Amino acid sequence: MGTLGRAIYVVGSWIRGAGQAVDRAGCALQATHLFEEKVSRHRTLMNLFDKDPVVDKDAFVAPGASVIGDVQVGRGSSIWYGCVLRGDVNSISVGSGTNIQDNALVHVAKSNISGNVMPTTIGNNVTVGHGAVLHGCTVEDEAFVGMGATLLDGAYVEKNAMVAAGALVRQNTRIPFGEVWGGNPAKFMRKLTEEEIAFISQSATNYSNLAMVHAAENAKGFEEIELEKSLRKKFARKDEEYDSMIGVVRETPEELTLPDNILPEKAQKSPA
């Protein structure tokens, strides 16, 4: 750091110190009416007493999500923004390739009225939609829980079964293989088609791919982000007709190209 840099640093320290002094003076004047801001202690992964979350190195836990206590998350699974997985009075297990989408809540029950232990178990390649609530239940491999659905203690969703969006699955309800249940309380609606069963698996794969992109973006440092911002500004796309008029051919830099498994297939242009 040169002489000028040191001088700027010192001036900055003075300004910060002055600001802190003004803040303390203001707090003293407010006396009992003072509102104190507490530093956030949020941690994405948080132990609870002797219980530590175990998250596979290839899983994605988004910033702002909370994985607390006795929770296991398998390889390639993704826990999205705003999710809470709280394994305090019992355990939570999430298999491989499963996605628990934004603002979903997964909790457990120490026991139910019958005295049965109620952990929450979620299998492999499961999709749990935005805002769903899973409490002391079991969801088998390649099942689908729709947005805003609620599964209460002892609910059991078998493989390739689907819980419709907004459904309420009551205690100890079992949803058989290949069926769609919906409503409040949830009831059998119909059988899943082969295409819908295939969609469940594809949905899990799509989210695993998307999670890798988000993980990579969240891992970028300040300098890398600033570089990409400048590249996007420099290579901002114009309308193709505009480009042809001024004779410009634009090529997107490699740094700004999303992986093929994220970009939708380009629509075929209709012949003129």
Decide which of 73 and 260 is more confident: 73
Pairing label, strands 105-107, 127-128: unpaired
Tens digit of each residue's pLDDT (9 = 90 or more) over 155-209: 999 999 999 999 999 999 999 999 999 999 999 999 999 999 999 999 999 999 9
H helix intervals, 112-260: 194-218, 222-234, 240-246
Q: Report pLDDT for 270.
A: 43
Mean pLDDT of 213-222: 87
Q: How confident is the model at residue 248 (pLDDT cuts 50, 70, 90)?
A: low
Lowest mean pLDDT among 101-115, 141-155, 254-268: 254-268
Q: Report pLDDT for 261.
A: 59
Topology of the domain covering 45-195 = UDP N-Acetylglucosamine Acyltransferase; domain 1 (2.160.10)
* Separation of alpha carbons 148 and 197, rounded Å: 20
Domain ranges for the chain, please list them.
45-195, 220-262
Q: How confident is the model at residue 250 (pLDDT cuts 50, 70, 90)?
A: low
Q: How confident is the model at residue 269 (pLDDT cuts 50, 70, 90)?
A: very low
Long-range contacts of 185-190 (CB under 8 A, 24+ apart): 189/164
Q: Report pLDDT for 88.
A: 92
Counting residues of the chain whose pLDDT is more than 90, the rounded percentage is 56
Q: Report pLDDT for 141.
A: 96
Exposed/middle/buried for residue 230 (C-beta within 10 Å: 0-12, 13-18, 19+):
exposed
Q: Report pLDDT for 271.
A: 46
* Separation of alpha carbons 130 and 148, rounded Å: 6
Q: Report pLDDT for 220.
A: 84
Long-range contacts of 48-52 (CB under 8 A, 24+ apart): 48/87, 48/88, 51/87, 51/88
pLDDT of 134 > 60? The answer is yes
3-state secondary structure of 33: helix
Q: Report pLDDT for 254.
A: 64
Q: Report pLDDT for 55.
A: 95
Lowest mean pLDDT among 90-94, 146-150, 200-204, 248-252: 248-252
Q: Report pLDDT for 86.
A: 95
> pTM value?
0.72
